[in-house]
Homo-oligomer: A and B are copies of this chain.
């Protein structure tokens, strides 16, 4: 399949074909979808963080003229259960509500306004119950137990407890030359996707239900909807509508949104659209888990880390949703990209009467990265070692083992990211110029922060059954190519990558490859579009499909005497010849990762098939008077294996950096008694282009991954993971104090400055 004569498409900055539709306003997002007879839904939600539902009276709402139905729990044909990992969350609460905004009923009416107005007329009598609003309080013995299903929880309000034990941590700490420690808290982060959650459920032929959804994980939704409707999986198909951002926020939540729409659609036997408004979306859908991490590091005087002792608490909210998976990644990522021989991590996710938290870019890793990078800098400071140098001494190299005792051999570019980032920054010179700047005046202080991260690509050893993907491909009689996969485009560029891979293998122009919107009925369960796995896994499936098709094409080329190097130019003839001979023009490709494993007793195992790495360096300037920190310069270097599309990968990094800047510096949701105190982007501030300087300078260390498509690993989450920590460490450097909590808002930075 070598084509020395042709320019390869791999690495090329192929323009994303879906951009045109989006720029023109022609892409159809969930709220753009219309079906004949379609009704609009509004959700009746709990105003209380914890209360018993005594009575639901839908009479007045049902009698509103434009209302067609009000559905409550009793209208659910199947199980009143939104299946994610554990089955503890009802689609519509019927006995107890456990967070503010929990759905109790859904109204379907001719217009959205009528539905919303009628929703207000659904009378629900509640008896308020004691509220548990903080995970540490929730863990106290005296705390009321608020979990829905005690059997599905570890004990009391403790949803999940996981451990990682490697080596002899006690000995390591007792023998260490130095021990540093700290407590690190992070708060909520809102995904702030441009498009709020939305779905249109459409009863289909043969007793089926289709749901058009703004979603990352159509197969999760398929399972959830089949469950509430009591339908076989084959009778439920999820079609992804153009998705205006997700960032993890559309991983588990659409299972609830789509279930609600489908319940209503089943009751009225008509299409039902449910679109959340911004306030509703922010207040009632998942966020990044707030965390409290206690972290101790033992090291030698040369900076070599001997051991870590980490305690992670995540605030899961009222239901489990994805918390156990998020927690697991905290556990596996706690040691960072470093060789750590002795490891002890305890990780707990805890129930509170708050909105269930879920997936968010980084998925439990930012909560431990802020700590591990803070600890590395603390060590460096205390030992008088340069921060680049201490990382250089500890970073994983090929042949090392990770904290879970997993050997890493292939594609280990951690150190290269560090070196390139240091080079790009001119690290030592920059430190000197910052010193000079800080000495020259007193109103601003600059600081330089560095952060290195490791990221296990894909779902790994806790859910190995999800690490697979399918592709369906066919050659058309004119040599163009039709392609379908099961992971989604949500802005990250998956469509472009898939088309590039197919075009590269088959030797057709990218403009002749058409990719279908994701529809769960077209390809087998391809797992979720999460964990930076889209390009790697679906890319492999597409690669495998394309290779099969290519073999058939080459066989025909041989038969009709077309030289291999003329295949691209003769593709139409070849396809036509195959078509005329009634050859099968369809192939399906399948991919699964190399085996992974995890032992829950020890927390050890070959937990991920492969890892991505990154090192970011941020320079910030703090206004000493206001406490405001802003980005002066940013360098981001990634090892995500071969980069399939440099333009889009760079875009991923730029976006991730911005989201990390927001997480570190400004994004905050106060919570009081289980109530979130924001309702839109005037009260929840996210970075603008002005907050990220000119954007990051981006470098790629392409340590090719033999088992990835053309050597690619994943990239999506990694930029966020590294960037917030680089920013936080830059602020620490600037102010000369150790931050213990995010965000480093002006108030908090002023507090740090005062403490110095």
Contact = CB atoms under 8 A, between A and B. Distances in A.
A276 to B, nearest CB: 19
A538 interface: no
Interface stretch (A30-38, A105-113, A344-352): A30-38
Interface in A203-244: 203, 205-208, 223, 226, 232-235, 237, 242
A754 interface: no
Given A32-B36, A234-B476, A234-B512, A579 B521 contact: no
Nearest to A489: B205
Interface stretch (A21-29, A328-336, A554-562, A630-638): A21-29
A301 to B, nearest CB: 47
For the residues of A in contact with B, the DSSP-based class is mixed
B586 A590 contact: yes
Interface stretch (A160-168, A186-194, A480-488, A621-629): A480-488
Contact of A588 (B464, B516, B580, B586): B586
Contacts of A33: 36
B524 A474 contact: yes
Interface stretch (A171-179, A255-263, A319-327, A465-473): A465-473
A11 to B, nearest CB: 21
Q: Would you list the 10 A-B pairs with minimal beta carbon distance, nearest first?
A: A232-B480, A233-B476, A234-B480, A584-B590, A234-B514, A582-B592, A468-B582, A524-B585, A34-B36, A465-B580
A478 interface: yes
B588 A481 contact: no
Contact of A17 (B17, B206, B472, B480): B206
A234 B472 contact: no
Given A468-B582, A472-B588, A525-B579, 15 more contacts: A17-B206, A27-B205, A232-B511, A234-B476, A234-B514, A237-B482, A237-B514, A237-B516, A465-B580, A465-B581, A472-B522, A476-B525, A477-B525, A524-B585, A584-B588
A20 interface: yes
A20 B153 CA distance: 44
A206 B465 contact: no
5 contacts: A34-B36, A206-B515, A233-B477, A234-B481, A237-B514
A523 interface: yes
A590 B464 CA distance: 32
A235 B514 contact: yes
Contacts of A484: 521-522
B465 A579 contact: yes
A513 interface: yes
Interface in A80-135: none
Contacts of A525: 476-477, 579, 585
A265 to B, nearest CB: 12
Interface of A: 17-18, 20-21, 24, 26-28, 32-36, 203, 205-208, 223, 226, 232-235, 237, 242, 269, 464-465, 467-468, 470, 472, 474-482, 484, 495, 511-517, 521-525, 579-582, 584-588, 590, 592
A523 B36 contact: no
B36 A28 contact: yes
A522 B524 contact: no
A513 B208 CA distance: 10
Nearest to A584: B590
Nearest to A471: B586
B514 A232 contact: yes
Contacts of A223: 477
A577 to B, nearest CB: 10
Contacts of A234: 476, 480-482, 512-514
A218 to B, nearest CB: 13
A584 B465 CA distance: 12
Contact of A582 (B28, B34, B467, B523): B467
A121 to B, nearest CB: 29
Contacts of A242: 205
A479 B36 CA distance: 32
Of residues A206, A223, A517, A590, which shows the largest number of chain B Cβ atoms within 10 Å of its Cβ?
A206
Contacts of A495: 206
A18 B464 CA distance: 38
A711 to B, nearest CB: 22
Nearest to A466: B582
